[in-house]
Amino acid sequence: MWSHRGTFRTPYLFRFPNLVHLMFLPWINDIFQYLALAMAKRALLVENSSQQVSGVFPFGPEIFEELKLDLDHPKVNGETTVSNAVTEVAAIMGENVKFRRGFLLSKSSAGVLSAYLHTSPQPGLGRIAGIVSLEVEGENTQLEAIQRVGSELAMHVVAAKPLFLSKDLVSSEAIANEREILKSQAESTAKSQMAVEKMVEGRLRKYFEEVALMEQKFIVNDAINIKTLVDNLSKEVGSPVKVTNFLRVEVGEGIERLEAASDEPVAQTA
């Protein structure tokens, strides 16, 4: 999956057998959509330097911009580089269009990718995308049930904004920072040290429920969490199912605003 940077309005989603590509569009424009699709197909050939069989592989301009594109559009055609194609289309559109970042989201042969687009004016367009990778042990013919839950999980990712897959994968730095905040809050109550420690541990469990996907309450049915949802799916299809990866991408996230004196509307960020 990958994205353009610029003055973004909506993302454009393309599905392929093993990958999902997400492209942010300044507006619904024929030439831009053509370039986005050409770049998405070219991104399928980006070398995954992480050597992962499945997972999320992020890449930036240094990997992608000098790759060759073979274009066949009335306004842009012939062989050129990604960088030159983007520059040419930006000039035609009169917009600040630059390649910012990309993601390849791949799966194993036993995996299923599901995606959800929020605020979608038409198929393939939206402001926020959630993508989830599920893996099933052994051969399973109940693909419909797996895809149904996968779509619900992708929607959940968009709404609940998880930061980590499971509580075991929450970084030690994040835990330490949160523990320090919770300890400071608890100590302000002037309770005993033992009471403070219990308060911190209780609130830390709540923190895991907020940031870890598998611990979060399911948005469709908050009587269960995501772990229970996946366990129930495993029982339904008769094979163990697990969530191996997820990705949430939102238009404009991570882009810092320039000072009012700047001529550029958006900061140049990595």
CATH number (domain holding residue 14): 3.30.479.20
Confidence band for 30, pLDDT divided at 50, 70 and 90: confident
Per-residue b/e over 100-121, b at no fewer than 16 CB within 10 Å?
Answer: bbbbbbbbeebbbbbbbbbebe
Judgement on whether residues 158 and 230 belong to the same structural domain of the protein: yes
Residues whose CB falls within 8 Å of the CB of residue 243, separated by 6 or more in sequence, listed in order: 132, 133, 134, 153, 165, 213, 214, 226, 230
Torsion of CA 147, 149, 152, 157, to 10 degrees: -100
Same domain, 120 and 192: no
pLDDT at 28: 41
SS3 133: strand
The answer to whether residue 25 scores a pLDDT higher than 60 is: no
Q: Which two tokens stand for residue 88?
A: 């040419």
Indicate whether 21 and 83 sit together in one domain. yes
**How confident is residue 192, by pLDDT bands cut at 50, 70 and 90?**
confident
pTM exceeds cut of 0.85: no
CA distance 118 to 212: 21
Q: Is residue 239 part of a domain?
A: yes
Number of domains, the chain: 2
Backbone torsions φ then ψ of 176, nearest 5 degrees? -60, -45
Residue 142 inside a domain? The answer is yes
Q: Per residue in 141-184, pLDDT tens?
A: 788 999 999 999 999 999 999 999 999 999 999 999 998 998 88
Is 80 in the same domain as 121? yes
Q: Cβ distance 114 to 132 under 8 Å?
A: yes
Buried b / exposed e across 188-202, counting CB within 10 Å, b at 16+?
eeeeeeeebeebbee
Q: Are residues 179 and 152 in the same domain?
A: no
- Asked if residue 184 and residue 52 are part of one domain, the reply reads no
pLDDT band at 267 (very low <50, low <70, confident <90, very high): very low
The fraction of the chain above a pLDDT of 70, given in percent, is 78
Asked if the structure places residue 264 within a domain, the reply is no
Mean of per-residue pLDDT scores for the chain: 79
Checking if the pLDDT of 268 tops 50, the result is no
Do 121 and 143 lie in one domain? The reply is: yes
Within this chain, do residues 105 and 187 fall inside the same structural domain, yes or no? no
| Domain hosting residue 149, numbered range | 2-164+223-250
At residue 123, the pLDDT reads: 61
Same domain assignment for residues 197 and 124: no
Is 217 contained in some domain?
no
- Cα separation of 180 and 101, whole Å? 33
Residue 46 one-letter amino acid: V
Q: Is 260 within the bounds of a domain?
A: no
Residue 148 confidence (pLDDT): 95
User: Do residues 229 and 237 touch, judged by C-beta distance below 8 A?
Assistant: no
- Write the CATH number for 175: 1.10.286
Task: Compare 114 and 2 and report the one with higher pLDDT.
Answer: 114
Structure letter (DSSP) for residue 32: H
- Number of residues that this document lists for the chain: 270
Mean pLDDT in residue range 104-130: 78
Whether residue 270 lies inside any domain: the answer is no
First to last CA, the chain: 16
pLDDT band at 195 (very low <50, low <70, confident <90, very high): confident
Confidence of residue 131 (pLDDT cuts 50, 70, 90): very high
* Exposure string over 242-265, b if 16+ CB within 10 A, otherwise e: bbbbbbbbbbeeebeeeeeeeeee
Flag the least confident range among 30-34, 138-142, 182-186, 244-248.
138-142
Task: Name the most confidently modeled range: 6-10, 15-19, 35-39, 90-94.
Answer: 90-94
At 14, list the tokens.
């393309």
Across the strands, what pairs with 194?
none
Residue 190 pLDDT class (50, 70, 90 cuts): low
Inside any domain, residue 64: yes
Query: In this structure, are 33 and 151 located in the same domain?
Result: yes
Three-state DSSP at 158 gives helix
The pLDDT tens digits of the residues spanning 72-113 come to: 988 888 999 999 999 998 898 888 888 888 788 877 777 899
The confidence band for 196, taking pLDDT boundaries of 50, 70 and 90, is confident
Task: Please give the pLDDT value at position 121.
Answer: 57
**13 near 124, Cβ under 8 Å?**
yes
Same-domain pairing of 65 and 199: no
Among the listed residues 156, 72, 158, 107, the one whose alpha carbon sits nearest the alpha carbon of residue 1: 107
Whether residues 86 and 118 fall in one domain: yes
Q: Is residue 114 part of a domain?
A: yes
